[in-house]
């Protein structure tokens, strides 16, 4: 039997991933006012992102959303979806932080916290789905 806290985690994961999907959809709609409110370095980073990186961002978000849906449906493929999502998260943030040099341009305090949070949540959801599968809470 699946414990109640499983459902709490699954629903919170789904809400988190829906928020990520909304952020992804809103990203290209960033207004001139929002861009103007950014520092020059933040604006340069935002505008310099290559198209392929936006595709990686979308793949990370929607694979994570699929994983969260898999948790709600109690499906074993949630593990694979979270793994794919985490791989794309790593690719995205390694490129932004080190190749685009976000850390050097805007500093550690501005560049690292949110990517670390996203990575930690992604890794936590992968671990949770693996644990749920090992306990028989996820069906094939």
Domain contains 139: no
Asked if the structure places residue 46 within a domain, the reply is yes
The reported pLDDT for the residue numbered 78 is 98
Q: What is the pTM of this model?
A: 0.94
Is the residue at 76 inside a domain?
yes
Percent of the chain predicted with pLDDT > 70: 100
Q: What whole-number distance in Å separates Cα of residue 130 and Cα of residue 99? A: 32
pLDDT digits (tens, 9 = 90+) for 4-15: 999 999 999 999
Q: Where are the beta strands (DSSP E) in the chain?
A: none
Does 140 fall in a domain?
Answer: no
For the segment 42-61, the average pLDDT, to the nearest whole number, is 97
In this predicted model, what pLDDT tens digit does every residue of 57-81 receive, in sequence order?
Answer: 999 999 999 999 999 999 999 999 9
Nearest to 59 by CA among 82, 39, 42, 32: 82
How many domains does one find in the chain? 1
Q: How many whole angstroms separate alpha carbon 12 and alpha carbon 6?
A: 10
Domain that holds residue 71: 4-27+37-134
pLDDT value at position 140? 83
Q: Rounded distance, CA 97 to CA 128, Å?
A: 27
In a domain, 13, yes or no: yes
Residue 32 in domain: no
Does any domain span residue 68? Answer: yes
Phi then psi dihedrals of residue 107, to 5 deg: 90, 155
| Integer Cα distance of 60 and 82 in angstroms | 9
Q: Cα separation of 65 and 8, whole Å? A: 16
């Amino acid at each position: 039997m699946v414990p109640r806290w499983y459902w709490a985690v699954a629903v919170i994961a789904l809400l988190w991933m829906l928020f990520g999907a909304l952020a992804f959809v809103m990203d290209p709609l960033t207004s001139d006012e929002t861009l103007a409110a950014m520092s020059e370095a933040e604006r340069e980073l935002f505008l310099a992102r290559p198209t392929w990186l936006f595709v990686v961002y979308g793949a990370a978000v929607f694979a994570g959303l699929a994983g969260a849906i898999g948790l709600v449906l109690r499906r074993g493929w949630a593990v694979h979806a979270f793994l794919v999502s985490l791989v794309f998260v790593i690719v995205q943030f390694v490129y932004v932080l080190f190749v685009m040099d976000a850390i050097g341009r805007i500093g550690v305090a501005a560049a690292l916290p949110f990517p670390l949070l996203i990575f930690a949540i992604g890794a936590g959801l992968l671990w949770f789905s693996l644990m749920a599968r090992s306990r028989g809470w996820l069906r094939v």
